[in-house]
Amino acid sequence: MYSKQPIEYKKENISASSNFKSQIEASSRRSKSRLILALDLDFRDDVADLAKDAKRVVRETSDYICGVKFNFHLIAPLGLAELKSINNLISGYNLPSIADIKLNDIDNTNRVATEYLWKAGFSAVIVNPFVGYEGGLDVVLKRAKELGKGVVVLVYMSHSGADEGYGLTLRDDKTLFELFLDRAKEWGADGVIVGSTRPEKIRSARARIGNEIKILSPGSGAQGGDPIRSLEAGSDYLIVGRSIVESANPKEEANRLFRSLLAWTETH
pLDDT at position 220, please? 81
Q: Note whether 221 and 189 are within 8 A (CB).
A: no
Q: Which domains does the chain have, with CATH numbers?
A: 18-266 (3.20.20.70)
**Low-confidence residues of the chain, pLDDT below 50?**
1-17
Active-site amino acid positions: 102
pLDDT at position 95, please? 97
pLDDT at position 167, please? 73
pLDDT at position 222, please? 66
User: How far apart, in Å, are the Cα atoms of 57 and each of 72, 77, 108, 130, 223?
Assistant: 17, 17, 34, 33, 20
- Say how many C-beta atoms besides its own lie within 10 A of residue 249's C-beta: 11
pLDDT at position 261, please? 95
- Say how many C-beta atoms besides its own lie within 10 A of residue 239's C-beta: 27
Angle, helix 50-61 to helix 80-92, in steps of 10 degrees:
10
pLDDT at position 10, please? 41
